[in-house]
Amino acid sequence: MSASAKQVPLPGATKHRQKNAEVVGEASAGDFNVTVMVRHKQPLPSMEEHANLKPHERKYLSREEQASAYGADPADIAKVEAFARENGLRVVHSDPAQRSVILSGNAETFQKAFGVQLKTYRTPEHTYRGREGDIFIPQELSGIVTSVTGLDNRQFAKPHVRVHRSVAQAMGASGSAGASAKALHDPVGFSPIQIAGLYNFPKTQDGTGQTIGILELGGGFRQSELTTYFSSLGIKSPTVTTASFPNGGTNSPGANALDPQNPDVEVMLDIQVAGSVAPGAQIVVYFAPDASDQSFLGVMNAMVHDAVNRPNIISISWGGPEDETTDQFRNEFDQLLQSAAQMGITVCSAAGDNGSADFAANDANWDHHAHVDFPSSSPNILACGGTQITASKTAISKEIVWHDGPNDGTGGGVSRKFPQPAYQNNIDKQAAVNPAGPVMRGVPDVAGDAAPGSGYQVLCDGQRFPDASQSLPPVGGTSAVAPLWAGLMARINQGLPNPAGFVNALLYKVPASAAAFNNITTGNNGDYKAGKGWNACTGLGSPNGQNLLKALQS
């Protein structure tokens, strides 16, 4: 299987140049890693029947059982390793459970092996190693290799956190939406514990016995700051550890929380929200080295198949427009989500912070149509949208869609890549409006407080949010909602005989009489409006945690 053997295109691997990118030279010298993934031993079973079972009826596979039945055939791994050696590439690591082989080599060697041209591209935001067109593999590996990532290391995902904005900017459109005068002029924000109280999280559960895995594509945390933060809330600091894995990143906190290129605020928001609302849970943070598709896929693979820490809840606060990904990346990631469902893992994902566009208004790649964020657009994930709340003492007096203006607010809409799942059959009136199209997977599934105007109190790199002296509002973004729901699911799992696992179908079956959701009927995210029942801004609504637990127990 040398490079001279007959090669065929790898399905779904086509990449195009970003609209604002220019070629500035050849790919840099030096070795780098590429990840090759291979097929399952046997196709994953449909989860539809399993998804409709009640929690106490569900039976999950252990990670060892899942790997044995649905991991890679060692013979397939061996074929990829042989191909690598014949083409001058070094095998760094292979893992049948994760179906992955990590290869190392330089640009010239990878170009010959996979029939690609690697160049250095530059955009106003960053410089990256990239490619255009297809990846080619030997015909003998066709049907065996399912994805190749890392040849192109452009950054796909972004953190869905809202910081670095003045109070006036943060409150702009929300003031006209009916926020209270106190909120407009005194945005002190909420602690996660206060938010949990407002959403009536189960009071006799704290997440004990559960493990929340938090996915990060950069940044870091300082344990001393976490101790200070949790102590200020009057709670014992939860156990927070990091996991290491091949091709993984490190806990690398920066020096300045106000640096737009520093993702520490994302990391601290995730840990502080999940840790505050589920202090009894174990929290494991998984760092990837960057936000490329290779890193995103690799860290998710490591989390799902981690047989040491065994997270049964995963929180993802990163993502990007589903149209900006390759088919191979989306399909591979979705397969991991299906594997997670087999093992009883609940995966919560932020729906995005750029409204129905899912692109910033000044992004040269935006086509002025509506888009949804990935991985939230997968039907096998719990997609979390955002609201803005006004509270009176210990109760929510008003809750509306988070929308601070064009391309600034909760993500949500209709997928162009994933079909409508059976559990959403009753929402077929939510067709895509821009451009018009078929009814497919609707985003989000659920919601929670995300607006900077009613955001979260966070401590990061010595900086507290909010900070009136620097006109810094609380921290917002749907990044807060994913760990919020992850913490809620930890409490709910503690109150169930089995972990809830893939919970979407169960949530859509909860009757309105259970009062498990606060239905959001006011506001929009650009192209979509809130309304009775599910909507493409806030899904089923924000939680009433105690009532939701009761509904799932029954």
Confidence of residue 23 (pLDDT cuts 50, 70, 90): very high
- Do both 75 and 55 map to the same domain? yes
Residue 443 has pLDDT above 50, yes or no: yes
How far is it, in rounded angstroms, from Cα 115 to Cα 113? 6
Among 512, 538, 534, 514, which Cα is nearest to 524's? 538
Domain boundary among 149, 172, 199: 149
**Could you tell me the CA-to-CA distances from 8 to 14, 113, 141 in Å, in that order?**
13, 12, 9
Distance between CA atoms of residues 395 and 389, nearest Å = 10
The Cα 476–Cα 189 span in angstroms is 9
Q: Is residue 1 part of a domain?
A: no
How does residue 418 score in pLDDT terms, banded at 50, 70 and 90?
A: very high
CA angle 354/357/362 to nearest 5° reads 70
| pLDDT score of 184 more than 90 | no
CA dihedral 84, 89, 95, 99 (to 10 degrees): -50
Nearest in space to 379 (alpha carbons), one of 429, 323, 317, 445: 445
Residue 47: predicted pLDDT: 79
Residues 309 and 415 in one domain: yes
CB atoms within 10 A of CB 208: 14
Phi/psi at 138 (5° precision):
-60, 145
Cα–Cα distance, 440 to 508 (Å, whole number): 16
Distances (CA, A) of 347 to 51, 154, 484: 14, 25, 12
* Torsion angle of C-alpha atoms 99, 105, 108, 113, degrees rounded to 10: -30
Residue 179 has pLDDT above 70, yes or no: no
Q: Could you tell me the pLDDT band of residue 437, with boundaries at 50, 70 and 90? A: confident
Distance (Å, rounded) from C-alpha 357 to C-alpha 525? 9
Residue 100 and residue 162 in one domain:
no
Same-domain check for residues 349 and 247: yes
Average pLDDT of the chain is: 92
Q: Taking the CB of residue 140, how many other CB atoms lie within 10 A of it?
A: 16
Q: Which residues contact 545 (CB under 8 A, 6 or more apart)?
A: 196, 199, 200, 201, 202, 488, 491, 492
Residues 195 and 136 in one domain: no
Longest CA span, the chain: 72
pLDDT value, residue 181: 31
pLDDT tens digit sequence for 215-244: 999 999 999 999 999 999 999 899 999 999
pLDDT at 172 over 50: no
User: DSSP E strands: which ranges in 369-484?
Assistant: 373-374, 382-392, 395-401, 413-419, 440-443, 446-449, 458-460, 463-465
C-alpha distances in Å from residue 389, one per residue of 135, 141, 233, 527: 48, 53, 21, 21
Residues 187 and 133 in one domain: no
Residue ranges of alpha helices (H) inside 41-95 are 48-51, 63-70, 74-86
Q: Which domain holds residue 53?
A: 7-149
How far is 104 from 31, CA to CA, in rounded Å? 6
Is there a contact between 492 and 549 (Cβ–Cβ < 8 Å)?
yes
pLDDT in tens, 132-157: 999 999 999 999 999 999 999 999 99
Residue 174 has pLDDT above 90, yes or no: no
- Note the residue count of the chain: 554
Q: What is the pLDDT of residue 554?
A: 87
* pTM of the predicted protein model: 0.95
| Judgement on whether residues 116 and 250 belong to the same structural domain of the protein | no
pLDDT tens-place string over residues 331-377: 999 999 999 999 999 999 999 999 999 999 999 999 999 999 999 99
CATH number assigned to the domain comprising residue 529? 3.40.50.200
Mean pLDDT of 313-337: 97
Whole-number pLDDT of residue 188: 86
165 and 104 assigned to the same domain: no
pLDDT tens figures, 239-268: 999 999 999 999 999 999 999 889 999 999
Write the CB contacts of 537 (distance below 8 Å, at least 6 apart in sequence): 385, 401, 403, 410, 412, 447, 520, 523, 524, 525, 528, 529, 530
Q: How many domains does the chain have?
A: 2
pLDDT band at 429 (very low <50, low <70, confident <90, very high): low
Q: Does any domain span residue 226?
A: yes
Same domain, 486 and 403: yes
The Cα–Cα gap between 412 and 427 comes to 14
461: nearest Cα among 222, 295, 276: 222
Q: How many C-beta neighbours within 10 Å does residue 435 have?
A: 10
What is the distance between the alpha carbons of residues 435 and 440, in angstroms, rounded to a whole number?
13
Alpha-carbon span 259 to 270, nearest angstrom: 18
Separation of alpha carbons 263 and 252, rounded Å: 10
Interval 59-100: pLDDT, tens: 999 999 999 999 999 999 999 999 999 999 999 999 999 999
What number is the average pLDDT over the span 531-554?
96
Please identify which residue in the block is written with the tokens 């255009």.
132
Q: Which long-range contacts (CB under 8 A, 24 or more apart) does 46-54 make?
A: 47/338, 47/341, 47/342, 47/380, 47/502, 48/422, 48/505, 50/341, 50/502, 51/341, 51/423, 51/502, 51/504, 51/505, 51/506, 52/505, 52/509, 54/506, 54/552
- Which of 124, 149, 174 is a domain's end point? 149
Mean pLDDT of 527-540: 94
Q: Domain for residue 2, yes or no?
A: no
Q: Which residues contact 94 (CB under 8 A, 6 or more apart)?
A: 77, 80, 81, 100, 101, 102
Q: Judge if 139 and 162 occupy the same domain.
A: no
What percentage of the chain reaches a pLDDT higher than 90? 86
Across the range 287-308, mean pLDDT stands at 98
Span 29-59, pLDDT tens digits: 999 999 999 999 999 998 777 788 888 899 9
Strand partners, 34: 103
DSSP state of 29: S
Residue 439 has pLDDT above 90, yes or no: no
Active site residues: 266, 270, 479
- 519 by DSSP, 3-state: which? coil
If one counts every other C-beta atom within 10 angstroms of the C-beta of residue 524, the result is 21
Say what the pLDDT of residue 436 is. 79
CA distance 315 to 274: 9
| Local confidence band at 1 (pLDDT 50, 70, 90 cut-offs) | low
Residue after which a domain boundary falls, among 149, 176, 203: 149
Same domain? For 132 and 279 the reply is: no
pLDDT of 169 > 70? The answer is no
Q: Is there a single domain that holds both residue 452 and residue 364? A: yes
Q: In this structure, is residue 477 part of a structural domain?
A: yes
- Detail the DSSP E strand segments found in 197-250: 211-216, 240-243
Classify the C-alpha dihedral 170-234-269-210 as positive or negative.
negative
